[in-house]
Chains A and B, each alone.
Chain A
Amino acid sequence: MSTSPLASASTRAPRPPASRAPGRRRRGLGPRALTYTVLAVGLVLWLIPFVWMILGSVKTQGEILQKPPTWWPENPTGENFAQWFGPLGIGHFFVNSLVVAVITVLGNMVFCSMVGYALAKMQFPGKRVLFTLVMITLMVPGVVTFVPLFVMVSKLGLVNTYPALILPFLTAPIGVFLMRQFIQGIPDALLEAARLDGAGEWRIFARIVMPLCGPPLATLGILTFLSSWNNFLWPLVAAQGEDMYTLPVALSLYSTGQNATNYGLLLAGSVLVIAPIILLFVFLQRWFIRGVATTGLK
């Protein structure tokens, strides 16, 4: 496996080795075709869980329980989805997830770019301390904060409210890092010119810096949306009534207890939770992947 990719890498060399017949269009088809075949088989296996999820979501409970399992649904049914949209009221959980994610994204964009600008282009006492603190929190595992966070949120009477779901995620350290890195790259001359024209720092930030920050804001937005949409541990603790459940919390609570083996229903729920993010991913995949490559976080 590990030799074939490199073998095919050598075929990318502009001049094929002498042993190969000159002028052949299909240079090195052998090793490259082998690489792609292995990759294709691997990819099919890799994506089977998704295929199995979709197929299972339209099977009847009777067919789900059949042994051995059927591959293709014998009498496809929309009943599982109807359950979610009807009595289980997935629309409400969807709205909760969306509200939390959108506010978290917007909040992070505003907060992180402001701090990022100050850290990148201004000199002030406490700057180094602030940046170090923010970077240290990148390493702090979620379980460290959530116990005192829960105590605090209960004290403030915020349990089971939107603020409880949103506030702890409004200040993503990675966002500060991302914005600071990018804004550092903006030439000082540009800002100096505006200063000479009499523009204040807020004006410079709003009119010059922000319009240039499209790429890191897109990356930050996507990363924040993704982690908010998939966030599980904190919403599970903070949302204690059905009215505040986000999609993953609702799905996880339905999949324990009496519904634990009602796989048709649960798989339909999974499809509904995953579908929006997969759609987003397929359309914006360049940004997703750029985000990971630059920040190293998912």
Chain B
Amino acid sequence: MKGRLVLVAAAVGSLVVAGCSSSSSSSSSSSAAAAGGSSASTKACTTSIGIEAPITGPVAPLGTEQLHFAELAVSMDNAANNTKITLVQGDTQLQPAQAVTVTQQFISNSNIVGVVGPAGSQEVEAIGGPMGRAGMAFISGSATAVALTTGSYPTFFRVVSKDSVQGPQDANYIVKTLHPKALMIVDDQEAYSTGLVSAMVPVFQAAGIKVDHESVSQKVTDFSSLVAKVTPADTVVVLPWQIAANAQQFGRDMAQEHKTAVIFGTDGLFSPGTFSISGSYVSSFGPDITAIPADASIAQAAQAKYGTFGTFGPPVFAATHVIDEAIASVCKAGQTPSRANVLAAIKTTNEPTSILGQPISFDSHGDLVNGKFFLFKITPAGKYQLIPS
């Protein structure tokens, strides 16, 4: 009996902790709302948006960063536009099935007029249909698969470019600058990674480079056996991965086995505190906003509130800002925000500048117009140096 009481107490304790956690996330929204409502005479523009991100699971560090930047954007936009937008969280764990569940919850919540996310291309493919049927706009800050913007998902938008741009661009850089005769490319068995590999391999093959295509799960952290396969002829190892810590371990295993190949990573590997193998390259769909003077206030606010960050947060800030501005424009036009009028407003987005250092507008399929990628090289001090395009 005593044991059961302790178990019950432990369970209650954990619920209290969980409760504290949720209330802390909603408090950011309410404080933002308070900021937005500072002018009592203005008619309140009150509504909700959802965010789908992998807040737990293997890529939780990326998802948490996305959530933080969405919270920051809502808070700043509420203050700037005198709106009362509340952010509703949905944890997808980067799993399509979980994304579908969260999406159904969002669709059935009539207060939600738009969604930020999801993070992964495979999730977009899972929820694109239901979102389209619900007429709900959703903007991803990291889904880059080419197939997402071929017209199948009419309410989907993204503020980053796509694999068909990044893959060949990165592959061409490797071919022309690093001149490998052979290379190893390792996907992480997720749609993001396999999509990029599919876009890169034809470029390598056309250049006559011998390609050893390998594949490891994101959950694997032991790369010693794989690293043993890196031959002296393999002067480049391409890791289109989402988990920077895994790439760091891959680099350590290479050093331990005296392999000297250069690592070329993408997006998720932009993590100065985690991935710091000197001489490695990282291409990213997002810029390093700490190096953009116009973003100084946002970067400082994010750093002060959440600590260090990579390149997954800023695009989500941009995506959230697009929806926030669409809602504000609807309210300014004297209408009540709905899924239909917010979707229509998003379609006409035309921001001359953004946190990403480039204008934001969408083509008819939801792609970012003139989207670009950024390439960095890691210095011996572990710093990420932008390579001019």
Bind each other? no
Chain B residues engaging chain A, CB cutoff 8 angstroms: none
